[in-house]
Amino acid sequence: MKIAIDAADLCDKRIDGTRIYIKNVLDHLGHLSPADNFFIYSKGRLNPALKFKKYSNYTIRCSSAPFFWTQLKFPFELKKDKPDVLWMPLQTVPYLIPSDLKVVVTIHDLAFKIFPHHFPAKDCFLLNLFTKKAIKQAAKIIAVSKNTKQDIIKYYQAPASKIQVIYHGFNRKIFNPKTAQNPAAIKKIKNKFKIKKDYLLYVGAIQPRKNLSVLLKAFETVKENQSGRELSLVLAGPRAWLNQIVFKQIQSCRFASDIIFTGPFKTRELPGLLGAARAFVFPSLYEGFGIPVLEAMASGTPVISSDNSSLPEVGGGAPQYFNAQNSSELAAIIKNVLDSPGLQKSMRQKGLEQARKFSWEKCAKLTSQILTDHK
């Protein structure tokens, strides 16, 4: 069987959950389906940090286009190779493809339907347009959580039988307590980002849906308390759309000098950041899956998370949860965790147990079964 895969997103400089997902599934597919031939398409040079393992049954096709590669160039590549199955790891499908081509689409989240005001108008329009088309055309849909599956049914009336939930995984070699607690790595990362105090950590893009305004308000409240006097807040991640609101709030914060923004960082630096943190705080308004929560638990870091969307699915009983709209509740939970060594120990143990339920191997195996299904 010839299986086509759109890997164009791996050429992007920015690394986020969807790109980590594509890279890690490709690291396993060739081994899991040795009898099948995979045609992997990109629109330029792969980001070195997202290079995947090459197998003998992988054929790499690289072709550039000035814009709209997926819609204007990719269909012609597919026409030449004539695959049996097309996997789109992001929620879009080329318009100009054969009507009899089996299409499998991964839907990561529908945040643009629930929080449209948190997206640039152009992006929101295109996401609506392409997602509707992808759901209609797909023979099979992969949803990255049960919550995402329910959203697809709710907003697009897709039949439940068409949707299979396949969870993400994490890199066990990188995210584990031993790596996270490496003294040399922790010292190096603290020196690089000039972290001199104990700290709370957030990991992710700086954009409105991540709800950092609530985290900043809670941090102010904690700083006013005895528990937070010698405490910093580290925001680790790149600037994304509409990030100006967050930085204006940081500038006006009374404790702005204790807020550290790392900007983009290397994956190998993340375990040290997680290992030295007093707690990992994830205040997001909505997540399709929430890989940072999984990586934090796997590293043995206590997790404090908002209680919405897919996050309780990922975290299970390990995190302390809070209402994403309530900064006072978050502040109270942070204070309680900081003041309770016994609670921290319990959260770490539960987090490690919960993380064991997820793996990229399992994700890739289930994905392979869908792609190679002849139905």
Kindly report, residue by residue over 245-268, the tens digit of the pLDDT: 888 888 888 898 999 999 888 888
- Burial label for 178, CB within 10 Å (0-12, 13-18, 19+), is exposed
Whole-number average pLDDT of the chain: 93
Paired strand residues for 320: 304
Q: What is the pLDDT of residue 241?
A: 65
Q: What is the pLDDT of residue 336?
A: 96
Same domain, 288 and 207: yes
User: Mean pLDDT lowest for which of 83-87, 105-109, 118-122, 292-296?
Assistant: 118-122
Same domain, 249 and 363: no
Same domain, 38 and 161: yes
Same domain, 366 and 274: no
What are φ and ψ of residue 372, in 5° steps? -100, 5
Look at residue 239 and tell me whether its pLDDT is greater than 90: no
Same domain, 339 and 363: no
At residue 165 the predicted structure's pLDDT band, cuts being 50, 70 and 90, is very high
Same domain, 297 and 346: yes
> Highest-confidence range of 36-40, 91-95, 263-267, by mean pLDDT?
36-40
CATH number for the domain that contains residue 34: 3.40.50.2000
Same domain, 212 and 324: yes
What secondary structure letter does DSSP report for 127? H
Same domain, 339 and 283: yes
Same domain, 123 and 200: no
β-pairing verdict for 231-236 and 259-263: parallel
> In terms of Cα–Cα distance, which of 291, 231, 299, 237 is closest to 259?
231
Same domain, 213 and 128: no
Q: Alpha-carbon torsion 124, 127, 133, 138, what sign?
A: negative
User: Mean pLDDT lowest for which of 24-28, 45-49, 101-105, 226-230?
Assistant: 226-230
Average pLDDT over residues 306-332: 97
User: How many structural domains does the chain have?
Assistant: 2
Q: What is the pLDDT of residue 265?
A: 87
Same domain, 338 and 234: yes
- CA 234/CA 226 separation, integer angstroms: 19
- CA 88/CA 143 separation, integer angstroms: 12
- Burial label for 8, CB within 10 Å (0-12, 13-18, 19+), is buried
pTM for the full predicted model: 0.92
Same domain, 199 and 314: yes
Domain span at 152: 2-169+359-371
